[in-house]
Chains A and B, each alone.
Chain A
Amino acid sequence: MSLAEVPSPSPSSSSGSDDFAALLDSELELASGADSGFPDDEGEDDGSEEEVEVEALEQNSTKRRRVEEQHQDQGISVRPGKIVTGSSKNVQVEVCPHPGYFNGLCFRCGKPQDEEDVSGVAFGYIHKGLRLGTTEIDRLRTADLKNLLHERKLVLILDLDHTLINSTRLQDISPAEHDLGIQTAATKDDQNRSIFALDSMHMLTKLRPFVREFLKEASNMFEMYIYTMGDKAYAIEIAKLLDPSNVYFPSKVISNSDCTQRHQKGLDVILGAESVAVILDDTEYVWQKHKENLILMERYHYFASSCRQFGFGVRSLSESMQDEREGDGALATVLDVLRRIHAIFFDTAVETDLSSRDVRPVIKMIRKEVLQGCKLVFSRVFPNTTRPQEQMMWKMAEHLGAVCSTELASTVTHVVAVDLGTEKARWAIDNKKFLVHPRWIEAANYRWQRQPEEEFPVSPPKEKIIRKENAVAAQKGTTSKDKENVVAVVQKETSKDSEENAVADQKETSEDKEENTLADQKETSNDEDGDDAAGQEDKAKENPVVAVATSTGSADS
C-alpha cells in the first residue's frame, strides 16, 4: 500500500499561497490514485464487484424493511386510508403522509415537495421555510395542549400597538413633544426608562406602564405569543424591548407576513389549541373568527400622533407629561382578569377533565359578573330607526351581564342617557334610579368592574359644536392609510351600520344622520330629538379612551 506513504497536510511546511497549493497537490495525487474508491479491487473483473454489490444490498434491504414497517405503522395512525394494499416485502412503498416541509423537503421522509401540491400553513415566524400540513398542526396542538395543561398554563396572544406599547414615527413628533425633549428621553441610558428610540426604523416606542410586571406575571400562567399587524422587522425590534433575554417569546413573534388572510389575525398560525387561547388586542375587527377568545383592550395612546391618527383633538399623554398609572392602569386590570381566568380554568374542585375544558366560557362568565344585577333602560342613546338590540352599547351591556330593556319598570336600576331632558331621564331622577352616561358601560367593559355611577353623570344639553370636530376626526380616520385604524375609529364613533358603510364604500345611506355626517364629512343641521341624542353621544364619545386614561392616570404625572 504505497498510498499510505503520501504525506498529509502540515502547516509548518508552507508559507506563500502557492506553496500551500503545492502542499495540497500531493493530496490530490492521492485522490487520483484512489480512483475507483475500492483500491483493493483494482485489477479484478467487473463481475466479482457486482456480486459483492448484491450481497451488500441484501443486507441493506433488511434494514430498510424494518424502517419501512415502522413508517407504515405511523402511517396507519395518521392516515389509515393511505396504506397501499398488496405491497409485498420486495416492493418498497414509501407511505409518508408528508406532515410538513422544511424549505420544500418533507421533514419526515426527506423527499422534495410536490410542486403542484403546496398545501398547509407557512410558519415562517418559527423558522424560515417551515410549512405544516393540517394533520400535523392538529397533532402538534394536541401534544402541546397536554404539555401546557401539565404545566398549568394557557395560551396568551398579545397585540403590540396600543395594547402593550405605543409608537410614533420621528417625523410625526409634535412640536410640544419635541419641546419636552421626548427624543432625549428615549436615548437616555436609564435602565428603568420606558421610552425607546428605534433608530433603524426612525421611530419612538413607549412601553405601556406596568408592561414588564405584566409579562413577568403572565408568563407564569401562559405561553405567550406576540401577534401584530406590523411588519416583521418592527415586531422583532419591539420584542427585543419587551423581552431582552428572549425568554417570553422565543419563536413566538407573529407579524403581518404570517397572516393567512389579509387584514385578519387568526389562531390558525398558532400551535396552541383554541380552547386555551386568550387574546389581548385593542382591535376587535381583526379577530372575526375568534371574538370569544378576545379581551378587548382599552387603546393606549401616548404620543400625539397616535391621538391625531385616531381623531382625538385633545392633548396627548406625552404632551401633558402624564401616563396611565402602573397600579390600576389597563395592564394591571387585565392581569387581574387573566389571573381569575386561569384560576377558574384550573379550578381543582371542578370534576371535568382538564383537556376538555374551554377558556371561552370562562371569559364569558367573568365578563358577565361585571354588571350582574343591573337592569338598564336606554334613553335616546340609539337612533330611532335602528333596533336597539343590535346596537353595540346594548350588546356590550348584555355581555357584561346586565339586562337591557326598552320599557321602564320598577326593577330597572339604571337609565342610560346622554340628555337630562328626556322623559326616561326625568323618570330616573324621580324614582331615585341611577342615571348614567353610556361611557359608564364602556368603562366597565374596559375595567372589568362596575364603575361608580356618580363619575359618569349625564350633563345638561350644550351647544352642538362638537359635531364638527367629530366630522374632522372621521375624515382623518378614513383617509388614513391604515385600514385597521379606520375601522377602529369608526367602530368606536358610530353604530355598526354606519361603520360598515363608512368603511365599505363610504356611500351615503340615509338611515342615520350621524352616518351622513361621517360619510359626507360635513356638518349637517338636523335637530330633531333623536338626532340630537345621537349628536350628543358623539360629543360624549369624543375621547373616551383619553378621558379614561387621564382620569385614572392623573396622579402619575
Chain B
Amino acid sequence: MFFHIVLERNMQLHPRHFGPHLRDKLVSKLIKDVEGTCSGRHGFVVAITGVEDVGKGLIREGTGFVTFPVKYQCVVFRPFKGEILEAVVTMVNKMGFFAEAGPVQIFVSNHLIPDDMEFQSGDVPNYTTSDGSVKIQKESEVRLKIIGTRVDATEIFCIGTIKDDFLGVISDPGAAV
C-alpha cells in the first residue's frame, strides 16, 4: 500500500552552500539521499512531495558543518502481510512465478497456485487451468495476497498466494481486453 507520511531527517550541510538558495540546496540533497531508499519500518521512499519545516541549524564543532532537522512529506510503498494487491508477472517457471508490484518483488510458489493450474513449459512458460480458460504467463496481471515480507537493505521481498477466493489473473497479455 502507498502512504503519504511525514518523516524527519537531520541534514548536514557545509557552509559554502549557505545563501539565498540554502533551502533549495537542502531539498535537493534530501531528495538525493532519501528517494529510493528502503527501511523495514516504512518500506520504500518513493518520492518526496514537500518539505514541511526546516529547523534551526546547529553548528558542528570542528567541521563547520551545520545540521538541520528537516521535516518532509513523502510517498512510501510498504507491503503488509495479509494485504491484497495487484502485480505484474515477470517470470514463470516450474517452481512458480515471480511478480512485481512497483519496486517490490513477490514470489508465488506453485504450492500457492491453485491445484487445477498446471505448469506448461515451452517458449512462453505458463500456468494454465485444464480447460485452458485461465493462463498466467510473463506480463500477466495478477491479484495476490501477501503472506510474508522481508526487507533487505535495498529491496523488499514478499511471498504471495493466489490460492484463495477472488485471487488470480485479472488480465492475461494474450487475451484482448
Contact = CB atoms under 8 A, between A and B. Distances in A.
B51 interface: yes
Given A102-B159, A144-B94, A251-B93, A107 B51 contact: no
B4 A107 contact: no
A285 interface: no
B157 A112 contact: no
A107 B49 contact: no
B110 to A, nearest CB: 8
A45 to B, nearest CB: 28
* Central interface residue in A20, A22, A25, A271, by most chain B CB within 10 Å: A25
Interface in A1-35: 17-18, 20-22, 24-25, 27-28, 31
B147 A24 contact: no
Contacts of A99: 109, 111
A126 interface: yes
Interface of B is mostly: strand
Interface stretch (A127-135, A208-216, A352-360, A397-405): A127-135
Contacts of A104: 150, 157
A21 B121 contact: no
Interface in B1-19: 4, 6
Most buried by A among B6, B52, B81, B148: B148
Nearest to B161: A110
A223 interface: yes
Given A102-B159, A126-B95, A110 B81 contact: yes
Contacts of A67: 164
Given A127-B107, A223-B121, A251-B93, A107 B50 contact: no
Interface in A111-159: 111-112, 126-127, 129-130, 132, 140, 143-144, 147, 151
Nearest to B111: A108
Contact of A143 (B81, B119, B149): B119
A198 to B, nearest CB: 25
A261 B39 CA distance: 35
A269 B59 CA distance: 57
B152 interface: yes
Interface string B14-45: 00000000000001000000000000000000
A42 to B, nearest CB: 22
Given A107-B107, A250-B125, A31 B4 contact: yes
A143 B147 CA distance: 25
Interface in B122-155: 123, 125, 146-150, 152, 155
Contacts of A127: 91, 98, 107
A241 interface: no
A271 B109 contact: no
Nearest to A148: B121
A107 B93 CA distance: 14
A106 B121 contact: no
Interface residues of A, number: 40
B50 A17 contact: yes
A62 interface: no
A27 B50 contact: no
A111 B73 contact: no
A533 B131 CA distance: 70
Interface residues of B, number: 35
Interface string A244-261: 000100110000000000
Nearest to A247: B123
B58 interface: no
B96 interface: yes
Contact of B111 (A74, A250, A271): A74
A236 to B, nearest CB: 15
B170 interface: no
A105 B159 contact: yes
B73 A108 contact: no
Interface string B68-109: 000001000000010000000001011110100000000101
B112 A107 contact: yes
A100 interface: yes
A459 interface: no
B95 A132 contact: yes
Contacts of B98: 127
Nearest to A108: B111
Taking each of A20, A103, A127, which has the highest tally of chain B beta carbons within 10 Å of its own beta carbon?
A103
Contact of A21 (B73, B123, B146): B73
Contacts of B50: 17-18, 20-22, 24-25
A108 B109 contact: yes
A93 interface: no
A407 to B, nearest CB: 54
Given A140-B94, A140-B95, A271-B94, A105 B148 contact: yes
B104 to A, nearest CB: 12
A405 B109 CA distance: 57
A23 to B, nearest CB: 9
7 contacts: A67-B164, A100-B95, A100-B109, A102-B157, A103-B152, A105-B148, A143-B94
Given A21-B49, A111-B148, 17 more contacts: A17-B50, A21-B51, A21-B73, A25-B73, A67-B164, A99-B109, A100-B109, A102-B109, A104-B157, A107-B112, A107-B159, A110-B147, A127-B91, A127-B98, A143-B94, A144-B94, A147-B119
